[in-house]
Chain A
Amino acid sequence: MKISRVFKFLVSCFACLVAVVSSGSEIVPGMALIPAGRYTPLFRGARETNYVEVAAFLLDTVPVTNARYLEFVRANPKWRRSTVVRLFADEDYLKDWAADLEIGSTVAPDAPVTCVPWFAAKAFAAWAGRRLPFTAEWEYAAAASATRADGLNDPAFVAQIERWYTTPSAPTLASVAQSPPNIYGVYDLHGLVWEWVADFSTAMVTGDSRGDAGLDRSLFCAGGSENATDRNNFPAFMRYGLRSSLKANYTLHNLGFRCAKTIELTTPKCIP
């Protein structure tokens, strides 16, 4: 009697798992499942916990490529180079492309699209039925090395990232997925391009913002890095610094993006 109850319980648990996987992640092509976990932001307020909980989500395995972006501008004429509104994209928008609907020979179709502003990245994501990842999600996924989720505790991994951050980017960007993926199967979070995040504007370390500080001194880099939770994470400082210096219509030759997706659970019944 007891055994059969245990068996029933196990079966229902399994069914529940299947339900979660099939309804939720549905393993979208080109996206990897990033399991739930904790991310330690670089700066936290005095009254805040050191970490943020990150719910499981899906992340593009590679940055958006020129070829994929071309599909987007074909479908959305207002995002073509000659028609885009300056409010949303500066003068260098897609400057490496040959024409509105022609990638040309300067950049490879399967290299990450760059020279795209945050507004365009956001519009692309919406068109693709996705969204931009949040800083916490991006950083959390990027903390993983090829072999472990807590890659940042591995000095060799950190050193490898630092090497990239201290090397000027190549004049021509390489194709995506040329180096090994991290433990979640995500490529190129380091080593190829910088990437936009949905909430890039939450990073507030700028010279300007010292003068217009709102609530919390720890958000502003007035005292250098003394409030930082992990002073050794030099690449994270660099990303924070870049994000804080960006404006939403800026484009850079080494700044691209990838999309994320929230896992929508269809509330499977898990009660045995």
Chain B
Amino acid sequence: MYSMKPLNHVCPDALCARRSKGILLSFLLLATPQISPALRAGAEKTLEAKPHSWCSNALAPAKISERSLYNSDASWTTDRGVTIKLASFRGRPQIVAMFFSTCLSACPVLLNDLQRIAEKIPETVRTNVQFVLISFDSEGDTPPVLAKYRQQHALPENWSLLHGSPEDVLEIAALLGVRFRSEAQGGFAHSNMITLLNPGGEIVLQQPGLNRDPSELAGAAAKLLGR
């Protein structure tokens, strides 16, 4: 029997567009009973024929748990203008942090911390970990601004920069235990927290503060990938 599971798992970035299209196609076919079984099988084959290692949800449990952040309905726009949910990254470990692009004090250090964590992850599995930076600044950090930030900092493909509504930003901050408030003079005061989610979206490790040893988070992320 074909499982509907991949439908919940739309790949957020252009890299996986082909596979997403395959999923969409198979959904349309499955939803249309009169389509011939042969055609349907063909669509499934398309899916199988275009595997994308990091889009595989082999590591994710069949059903998300009660503690999974993937229960959140918040919707985000990536720096490439693609609308996603956090659950779109289901199937791979995620390292999530909150920031804003015009932050000159803590955020550059936080970004550096994330890059140091990435470097510590064994190269063979490094790109299987999704790095997610969510902006506090719903007004200023529009997808084009975030795209520029990606460019400036030469962030690799497995990094996503997310923009969301103030309401969704408040919710994700609440879920991650990040505290912040906007300042009258512009900018945000915020706590610094790096969170590791397992492929099912549950928090497995959180590291508060800045300039901490990257080994622990890198090690935990690699362990989730069997390294």
Chain A hits for B180, CB < 8 A: 201-202, 214
In the complex, the answer to whether B174 meets A118 with C-beta atoms within 8 Å is yes
The stretch that binds A, out of B26-34, B151-159, B188-196, is B188-196
Cα A254 to Cα B14 with chains together (Å): 49
Chain B hits for A199, CB < 8 A: 170, 181
Is B5 positioned at the interface, with any CB of A under 8 Å from its CB?
no
Q: Do A209 and B185 form a contact, CB below 8 Å, given A87-B68, A118-B174, A198-B170?
A: no
Cα A206 to Cα B187 with chains together (Å): 21
B-contact 0/1 string along A197-227, CB 8 Å cutoff: 0110111101011011111100100000000
In the complex, the answer to whether B188 meets A215 with C-beta atoms within 8 Å is yes
In the complex, the answer to whether B170 meets A214 with C-beta atoms within 8 Å is no
In the complex, the answer to whether A87 meets B177 with C-beta atoms within 8 Å is no
- Nearest A residue to B208 via CB reads A212
24 contacts between A and B (CB under 8 A): A45-B185, A52-B184, A85-B66, A86-B66, A87-B175, A88-B71, A118-B174, A119-B171, A199-B170, A199-B181, A202-B179, A204-B179, A208-B191, A212-B193, A213-B191, A214-B188, A214-B190, A214-B191, A215-B183, A215-B188, A219-B189, A244-B179, A248-B174, A248-B175
Cα A248 to Cα B173 with chains together (Å): 9
Cα A206 to Cα B188 with chains together (Å): 18
Cα A49 to Cα B183 with chains together (Å): 11
Q: Tell me, rounded to whole Å, the shortest Cβ–Cβ distance linking A126 to chain B.
A: 9
Q: Tell me, rounded to whole Å, the shortest Cβ–Cβ distance linking A145 to chain B.
A: 28
Cα A206 to Cα B68 with chains together (Å): 25
- Nearest B residue to A205 via CB reads B179
Chain B hits for A209, CB < 8 A: 179, 191, 208
Q: In the complex, which of the residues A49, A119, A244 contacts B174, with contact meaning CB atoms closer than 8 Å?
A: A119
A-contact 0/1 string along B197-222, CB 8 Å cutoff: 00000000000111000000000000
Q: Tell me, rounded to whole Å, the shortest Cβ–Cβ distance linking B82 to chain A.
A: 25
For the complex of A and B, the 9 pairs showing the least CB-CB separation, nearest first, are A248-B174, A202-B181, A86-B66, A212-B208, A214-B190, A212-B209, A215-B189, A48-B184, A212-B191
B-contact 0/1 string along A3-29, CB 8 Å cutoff: 000000000000000000000000000
In the complex, the answer to whether B170 meets A215 with C-beta atoms within 8 Å is no
Q: Tell me, rounded to whole Å, the shortest Cβ–Cβ distance linking A94 to chain B.
A: 16
B-contact 0/1 string along A129-146, CB 8 Å cutoff: 000000000000000000
Overall SS of chain A's interface = loop
Chain A hits for B184, CB < 8 A: 45, 47-49, 52
Contacts A88-B71, A202-B180, A212-B193 aside, 20 further interface pairs with beta carbons under 8 A come to A47-B185, A48-B184, A49-B184, A86-B67, A87-B72, A201-B178, A203-B179, A204-B191, A208-B191, A209-B191, A211-B208, A213-B191, A214-B105, A214-B106, A214-B192, A215-B106, A215-B183, A215-B189, A216-B189, A219-B189
In the complex, the answer to whether B170 meets A211 with C-beta atoms within 8 Å is no
Is B69 positioned at the interface, with any CB of A under 8 Å from its CB?
yes
Chain A hits for B175, CB < 8 A: 87, 248
- Nearest A residue to B105 via CB reads A215
Cα A214 to Cα B179 with chains together (Å): 10
- Nearest B residue to A206 via CB reads B179
Cα A202 to Cα B178 with chains together (Å): 9
Chain A hits for B69, CB < 8 A: 87
B-contact 0/1 string along A180-208, CB 8 Å cutoff: 00000000000000000011011110101
Q: In the complex, which of the residues A118, A201, A211 contacts B179, with contact meaning CB atoms closer than 8 Å?
A: A201
Chain A hits for B185, CB < 8 A: 45, 47-48
Which has the most chain A C-beta neighbours within 10 Å: B72, B185, B189?
B189
Cα A48 to Cα B181 with chains together (Å): 13
Chain A hits for B171, CB < 8 A: 119, 122, 248
In the complex, the answer to whether B183 meets A211 with C-beta atoms within 8 Å is no
Q: In the complex, which of the residues A48, A86, A88, A247 contacts B177, with contact meaning CB atoms closer than 8 Å?
A: A247
Cα A85 to Cα B63 with chains together (Å): 13
Chain A hits for B187, CB < 8 A: 215
Cα A215 to Cα B42 with chains together (Å): 56
- Nearest B residue to A126 via CB reads B167
Cα A212 to Cα B192 with chains together (Å): 5
In the complex, the answer to whether B208 meets A208 with C-beta atoms within 8 Å is yes
